[in-house]
Amino acid sequence: MLLSSIATAFHSFKGSSIYRSLFTPPTTGLLHISGFTLAVLLVLATNPPVLAQKPEAGTWSYTLHLQLTDTLLQVDVAINLPANHNSSTWMLFNRHIGLHDVTLNGAPAGFHRDGDTLVVDTPADEAATLQMNYTFHRSEAGSWSDGAANAGNPGVAPAESNNTQIFLERFHKWYPVVYDNFAEYLISVVVPSTHVVYGWHRETGRDKAGDNTVYRYHCTDEDVPLFITRGDIFEAARQVDHNGTHFEFRFLPRDKRLLAVSDNKPVYATSPAQIDSLLQSTTTNALLAFDWFQANLWFQETDTVRVVESSIFGLAVGMKNCIVIDRSLMSMEALDGYALSHELGHLWIGIHTLYQAKGKFFLGESVNEYVNLLSYKSRAGSAAFEQAIRNKTELRYSEKPFFKARFDQVLNQGRGEGQFELIYNKGVVFMHEFCNRIGQQKLLSIIKGTYSRPNHFVTLSDLENQIRQHGCWDQYLELFGLEL
Ligand SMILES: [Zn+2]
């Protein structure tokens, strides 16, 4: 399975040439390849400065108001800075977004940009309200960005988008971000009624206003991703009420879907009945995976989970109650049966991991993918599970030939070059070695102890403390001596 992060702990991305040649329908191959190239640029271009980490920044409160029209996305931001906010707290922001007005307590504010960082002159010992607004434009090709980002810096667009869908999250810095900080968010999004908004958290309100719909969210978290899509591009929703959770699946209509790969050639399902049965097993697998996570990690009260198929290549994200998964990953799901459940796993694991700390991507992605494979084993059997591990050991879906890696390479791997191989493959194999040494129940108990604390940024120390408490330290140390 081929996953790498575009930007966040909860993104997945498939991009090897092997994957593309197998799974990309020839008619759209060029589009997909260029989409991948762009995403790689994004990965390289958005590495933040080291000074971004301010875990002690305290709770800031944001009011975000978005208004979408045919050609513009207008954003208004107000941030209440608490008294004694640290004036050296840096707000990361997409430096290419042109700010229209920046005011502090109603008066024009002084600010400057330092790399990705927005520095506003504020009196540190007083509470203050910082306000700003800016606009994203829709290009003729249909993508959404700030004009400046398009012209000089194609890799730093503030949103992932295509003609019909926009995805906004903090790693694109579409609003000023303090990393590793939980903040309170009051959000309203006004879209034409032809559109639907999928938010990170449960909606707190939805109203009609003329030809528009207003979506409201109120939450405390480190991020508030929003997925805005035209509503009329999907098949009729498949809705399932299951063990107290309402599931809604929105698939894109497609006249063929990948069914298998035989002799290195894609085999497609083309009849409506075949496609229907394929999607039926996708939804069934998702429910089984969800049940497994509830039972084997910890129970989370979840009233709704919405799964939306995206036409933005490379976009897959597990949000709090919404999964967005792109068409190519849906193809992968048809083949291996655990691409969608990877994103479901992020409802439990790896969303709040300290931004630039050692082991971030191991904690956020390798652990999640291994837990995902354990859930896969429960529904697909041991042989399928063992095969999935071998695929990762051998880098089966990678562009790079088989190579061996050490555990400290995995822990030190950040975003970018080598991430896919080391985090989504080798990191998972190391987890498997650890599991073989201590047993699945102990491993799950360690993971539960590490990740189940609310409003907490998980670090490698949290994991290691749990490993010690479970008496598994020696087995953990053994991982550092292995080459896998
Ligand atoms: Zn992931």
CB 325 within 8 A of CB 345: no
- Report the amino acid identity of residue 442: K
**336 alpha carbon – ligand 1 mean position (Å):** 16
pLDDT at residue 20 is higher than 60 = no
**CA–CA separation, 84 vs 382, rounded Å?**
55
State residue 19's pLDDT score. Answer: 44
pLDDT confidence bin for 153, thresholds 50/70/90: low
- 228 alpha carbon to ligand 1 midpoint, in Å? 21
Residue 449 in this model has a pLDDT that exceeds 70? yes
What is the Å distance from ligand 1's center to 458 Cα?
A: 15
Lowest mean pLDDT among 103-117, 260-274, 464-478: 103-117
pLDDT at 318: 87
Distance 169 CA to ligand 1 centre (A): 15
Query: Which pairing describes strands 245-250 and 238-242: parallel, antiparallel, or unpaired?
Result: antiparallel
Give the residue-averaged pLDDT of 195-208: 93
Mean pLDDT of 386-407: 94
Residue 6: pLDDT band (50, 70, 90) is very low
State the pLDDT at residue 146: 58
Q: What's the CA gap between 291 and 281, in Å, rounded? A: 15
Give residue 25's pLDDT.
38
Distance 9 CA to ligand 1 centre (A): 6
Distance 342 CA to ligand 1 centre (A): 6
With a pLDDT cut of 90, the percent of the chain lying above it is 63
- The pLDDT value recorded for residue 178 is 85
Q: What's the confidence (pLDDT) of residue 126?
A: 83
CA of 340 to the centre of ligand 1 (A): 10
Q: How many A from CA of 12 to the centre of ligand 1?
A: 5
Q: How far is the CA of 324 from the centre of ligand 1 (A)?
A: 12
Q: How far is the CA of 211 from the centre of ligand 1 (A)?
A: 37
Whether 226 and 66 have beta carbons less than 8 Å apart is answered as yes
Q: Ligand 1 center to residue 364 CA distance, Å?
A: 7
pLDDT at 28: 29
DSSP assignment letter at 112? E
- CA 316 / ligand 1 centre spacing (Å): 8
- Which residue matches tokens 């799901």? 333
- The H or E element containing residue 436 is helix 427-438
Half-sphere exposure of 167 (CA within 13 A, CB side): 26
Q: 3-class SS at 418?
A: coil
**C-alpha 355 – ligand 1 centre gap (Å):** 15
pLDDT at 18 over 60: no
Q: Residue 389 — very low, low, confident or very high, per pLDDT cuts 50/70/90? A: very high
Per-residue pLDDT, 163: 85
Could you list the beta-strand ranges (E) of 222-282.
226-230, 238-242, 245-250, 257-262, 265-269
Between the CA of 13 and the centroid of ligand 1 the distance, in Å, is 8
Give the distance (Å) from ligand 1 centre to CA of residue 419.
12
**Candidate ranges 120-124, 127-131, 395-399, 407-411; pick with highest mean pLDDT:** 407-411
Q: Is the pLDDT higher at 4 or at 122?
A: 122
How confident is the model over 258-286, as a mean pLDDT? 95
**CA 30 – ligand 1 centroid, Å:** 25
Mean per-residue pLDDT over the chain, rounded: 84
pTM: 0.87
Please tell me the distance between residue 128's alpha carbon and the centre of ligand 1 in angstroms.
37
Beta strands in 303-399 (DSSP E): 304-310, 316-318, 322-326
What distance, in Å, lies between the first and last C-alpha atoms of the chain? 17
* pLDDT one-digit tens code per residue, 327-351: 999 999 999 999 999 999 999 998 8
How far away, in angstroms, is 362 Cα from ligand 1 center? 10
CA of 104 from ligand 1 middle (Å) equals 38
Domain annotation for the chain: domains and CATH numbers: 17-43+235-345 (no CATH), 50-178+183-221 (2.60.40.1730)
Note whether 37 and 17 are within 8 A (CB).
Answer: no
- The tens digit of pLDDT for each residue in 157-177 reads 788 888 899 999 988 889 998
pLDDT of 118 reads: 86
Look at 91 and 47; give whichever has higher pLDDT.
91
- pLDDT for res 87: 58
- Whole-number Å distance, alpha carbon 302 to ligand 1 midpoint, is 20
Please give the distance, rounded to the nearest whole angstrom, from the Cα atom of residue 11 to the centre of ligand 1: 5
Neighbours of 254 (CB within 10 A): 18
How far is ligand 1, taken at its centre, from the CA of residue 399, in Å?
19
Q: What is the mean pLDDT of residues 411-415?
A: 91
* pLDDT for the residue numbered 147: 54
Asked if the model's pLDDT at residue 139 lies above 70, the reply is yes
Distance (Å) from CA 423 to ligand 1 centroid: 10
pLDDT tops 60 at residue 38: no
Among 14, 1, 18, residue whose Cα is nearest residue 400: 18
Residue 317 pLDDT exceeds 50: yes
- Measure 339 CA to ligand 1 centroid, in angstroms: 9
Distance 343 CA to ligand 1 centre (A): 6
- pLDDT tens sequence across 217-250: 999 998 899 999 999 999 999 999 999 999 999 9
pLDDT single digits (tens) 56-115 = 555 789 999 999 998 899 999 999 988 877 655 678 888 778 888 899 999 999 888 888
Residue 144 has what pLDDT? 67
**Alpha carbon distance 96, 113 (integer Å):** 10
pLDDT of residue 23: 46
Residues in Cβ contact with 235 at an 8 Å cutoff, skipping those fewer than 6 apart:
250, 251, 252, 253
Ligand 1 centroid to 213 CA: how many Å?
Answer: 31
CA of 140 to the centre of ligand 1 (A): 32
Distance 431 CA to ligand 1 centre (A): 15
**279-298 residue pLDDT tens:** 999 999 999 999 999 999 99
